[in-house]
């Protein structure tokens, strides 16, 4: 039976393919959007906050309005944080790839599947995207604010695997994101399979500064437009 999440939408439990261990718990999906969607988006959260943040709630709603079904989930460390209140250690991105694979395996549905997420969640998805795409399990990768490097440390790049990826990918990035601004990212050597949607004056949460001529609501709506268009395009291949 589906439990109810904080937003009132169904929080669908699924345990297939995930073992319960020190670093893993059973995956649950917070599902938003039409059941007959032409594409699905499996979305993981950022490093420091879970799947029900205002940012992800808004993006899920906007994507649902655009015909994309969004399945949010939490990595084990974040789910335990919600259950125990203990913050604990945030695992390395490469230590979460098995959980992402299991979340893909458990995501029921027939529509083409995109994987990705917010910040670290998108990074983890990017580490498994090529293998899952080659196996025919996903149609593409979508990252909301990719962490190209830690803030103020542009030499510590997290992009080697993005140089030769074959999986179609969309990165939605704020122009002044401290994890990778537009001038920094445009100077990188990245795969031609990656396309960008640049968010006007956006920070890591895609929000603009006052007086910039952009609004947060407008930026998030444009980001949802870009992701929905990408989902429809790769789903028709």
Return the structure tokens found at 195: 């396309």
Using pLDDT thresholds of 50, 70 and 90, give the confidence band for residue 18.
Answer: very low
Q: Collapsing DSSP states into helix, strand and coil, what is residue 126?
A: helix
How far apart are the C-alpha atoms of 203 and 183, rounded to whole Å? Answer: 14
pLDDT for residue 91 is more than 50: yes
pLDDT digits (tens, 9 = 90+) for 112-161: 999 999 999 999 999 999 999 999 999 999 999 999 999 999 999 999 99
Is the Cβ–Cβ distance between 176 and 202 less than 8 Å? Answer: yes
Q: Which residues contact 192 (CB under 8 A, 6 or more apart)?
A: none
Return the structure tokens found at 165: 């990826």
Return the structure tokens found at 160: 């080697």
pLDDT for residue 70 is more than 50: yes
Is the Cβ–Cβ distance between 99 and 45 less than 8 Å? Answer: no
The residue with greater pLDDT, 191 or 84, is 191
Using pLDDT thresholds of 50, 70 and 90, give the confidence band for residue 237.
Answer: low
Q: Spell out the domains of the chain, with CATH numbers in brackets.
A: 3-235 (3.40.50.1820)
Q: Which residues contact 219 (CB under 8 A, 6 or more apart)?
A: 174, 199, 200, 202, 206, 207, 208
Cα-based angle 48, 125, 234 (whole degrees, multiple of 5): 130
Using pLDDT thresholds of 50, 70 and 90, give the confidence band for residue 83.
Answer: confident
pLDDT for residue 206 is more than 70: yes
Residue 45 has φ and ψ, to the nearest 5°, of -85, 175
Using pLDDT thresholds of 50, 70 and 90, give the confidence band for residue 26.
Answer: low
Return the structure tokens found at 192: 């031609």
Q: What is the reported pLDDT for 82?
A: 73
């Amino acid at each position: 039976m589906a439990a109810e999440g904080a937003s009132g939408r169904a929080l669908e439990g699924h345990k297939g393919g995930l073992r319960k261990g020190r670093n893993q718990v059973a995956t649950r999906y917070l599902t938003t959007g039409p059941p007959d969607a032409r594409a699905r988006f499996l979305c993981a959260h950022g490093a420091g906050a879970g799947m029900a943040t205002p940012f992800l709630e808004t993006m899920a709603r906007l994507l649902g309005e655009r015909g994309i079904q969004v399945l949010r989930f939490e990595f084990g460390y974040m789910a335990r944080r919600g259950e125990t209140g203990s913050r604990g250690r945030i695992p390395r991105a490469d230590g979460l790839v098995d959980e992402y694979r299991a979340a893909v395996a458990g995501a029921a549905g027939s529509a083409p599947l995109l994987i990705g997420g917010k910040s670290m969640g998108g990074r983890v998805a990017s580490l498994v995207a090529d293998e899952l795409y080659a196996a025919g399990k996903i149609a593409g990768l979508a990252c909301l604010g990719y962490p190209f490097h830690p803030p103020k440390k542009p030499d510590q790049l997290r992009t080697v695997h993005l140089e030769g990826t074959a999986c179609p990918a969309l990165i939605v990035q704020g122009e002044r994101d401290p994890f990778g601004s537009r001038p920094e990212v445009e100077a990188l050597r990245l795969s031609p399979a990656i396309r960008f949607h640049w968010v006007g004056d956006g920070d890591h949460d895609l929000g603009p500064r006052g007086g910039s001529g952009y609004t947060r609501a407008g930026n998030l709506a444009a980001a949802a437009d870009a992701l929905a268009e990408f989902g429809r395009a790769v789903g028709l291949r």
